[in-house]
C-alpha cells in the first residue's frame, strides 16, 4: 500500500504541473508561443527556471502538455452532451454549438492553443487530438447519412469544412462577437448543408 507521504508527494507533483500548465497558458495567450520561454513562464509563476524543467524536461514538453490539457478540458465539457444526444443531428448540433460556447468559456486556453498551432514547432495536422476530433465528427456524419438524417455527403470534406468554420468563429469570438449569434448561425448553416430526407420539408 502506498504511504501517505508518497500520496502527498504525488498530489503535490500533479498540482505543481497543473499550476505550470495554467501559467504557460496565460503567458502564451499574452505573448504568443514563440516568446513563451521557460524563463518567462517561471517568472510569471514566481518560481525558478529549474522548477519548471524539473516537471517538464523541455519547452516543447510543456507546450505539448498545454495542448493535451486544452483538449482534455474540451472533452470533459463536451463529451457527454455530444455522445448522449439522441440522434446524429442532435450530436452534430451539440458539437458545433458546444464548441463555440467552449471558446467563450475558456478564452485564454483557446488563445494559447491557437498560438501554439500557428508556430512551426507543433502544427495542428500532426496532432493526434486534432485527427481524433475530425474522425469523431466524420463518424457522426456517417451515422446521420445512414439513418437518413443527413444527405449523402462526403464526411471528410464536411468535417473539414465544419472545423474551418469553427476556426473562423473562434477568431470572431476572441474579437468580441456574440456567442449565441455565432452558434445559432453556424448551426443553421450546417443544418441546411447536411439535411437529408428525414429533415426535408
Q: The C-alpha cell of 154 is what?
A: 462526403
Please indicate whether residue 7 or residue 168 has the higher confidence score (pLDDT).
168
Taking 70 as the threshold, does the pLDDT of residue 7 lie above it? no
Instruction: Tell me what pLDDT residue 56 has.
Output: 94
Taking 90 as the threshold, does the pLDDT of residue 196 lie above it? no
Domains contained in the chain, CATH given: 4-199 (1.10.357.10)
Question: Whose grid coordinates read 476572441?
Answer: 174
Mean pLDDT of 161-187: 97
Share of the chain above pLDDT 70, in %: 93
Cβ-based neighbours of 192, under 8 Å, separated by 6 or more = none
Phi (first) and psi of residue 150, to 5 degrees:
-110, 155
Residues β-bridged to residue 150: 195
Mean pLDDT of 49-72: 95
Q: CB of 59 within 8 A of CB of 38?
A: yes
Q: What span, in angstroms and rounded, lies between the C-alpha atoms of 116 and 75?
A: 19
Q: What span, in angstroms and rounded, lies between the C-alpha atoms of 174 and 30?
A: 13
Taking 50 as the threshold, does the pLDDT of residue 201 lie above it? no
Q: CB of 63 within 8 A of CB of 33?
A: yes
Q: CB of 94 within 8 A of CB of 136?
A: no
Taking 50 as the threshold, does the pLDDT of residue 1 lie above it? no
User: What are the pLDDT digits (tens) for 90-128?
Assistant: 999 999 999 999 999 999 999 999 999 998 888 999 999
What average pLDDT is seen over the chain? 92
Taking 80 as the threshold, does the pLDDT of residue 28 lie above it? yes
Confidence of residue 9 (pLDDT cuts 50, 70, 90): low
Taking 70 as the threshold, does the pLDDT of residue 24 lie above it? yes
Segments in 84-127 forming alpha helices (H): 88-105, 107-118
Amino acid at each position: 500500500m502506498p504511504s501517505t507521504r508518497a500520496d502527498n508527494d504525488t498530489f503535490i507533483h500533479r498540482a505543481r504541473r497543473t499550476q505550470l500548465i495554467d501559467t504557460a497558458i496565460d503567458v502564451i495567450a499574452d505573448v504568443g508561443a514563440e516568446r513563451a520561454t521557460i524563463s518567462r513562464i517561471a517568472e510569471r509563476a514566481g518560481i525558478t527556471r529549474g522548477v519548471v524543467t524539473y516537471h517538464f524536461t523541455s519547452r516543447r514538453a510543456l507546450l505539448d502538455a498545454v495542448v493535451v490539457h486544452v483538449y482534455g478540458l474540451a472533452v470533459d465539457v463536451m463529451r457527454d452532451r455530444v455522445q448522449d444526444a439522441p440522434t446524429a443531428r442532435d450530436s452534430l448540433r451539440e458539437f458545433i454549438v458546444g464548441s463555440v460556447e467552449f471558446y467563450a468559456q475558456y478564452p485564454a486556453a483557446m488563445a494559447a492553443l491557437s498560438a501554439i498551432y500557428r508556430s512551426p514547432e507543433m502544427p495542428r495536422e500532426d496532432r493526434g487530438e486534432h485527427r481524433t476530433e475530425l474522425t469523431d465528427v466524420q463518424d457522426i456524419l456517417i451515422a446521420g447519412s445512414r439513418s437518413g438524417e443527413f444527405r449523402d455527403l462526403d464526411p471528410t470534406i464536411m468535417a473539414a469544412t465544419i472545423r474551418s468554420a469553427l476556426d473562423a468563429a473562434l477568431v470572431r469570438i476572441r474579437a468580441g462577437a456574440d456567442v449565441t449569434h455565432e452558434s445559432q448561425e453556424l448551426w443553421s448553416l450546417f443544418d441546411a448543408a447536411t439535411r437529408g430526407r428525414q429533415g426535408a420539408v
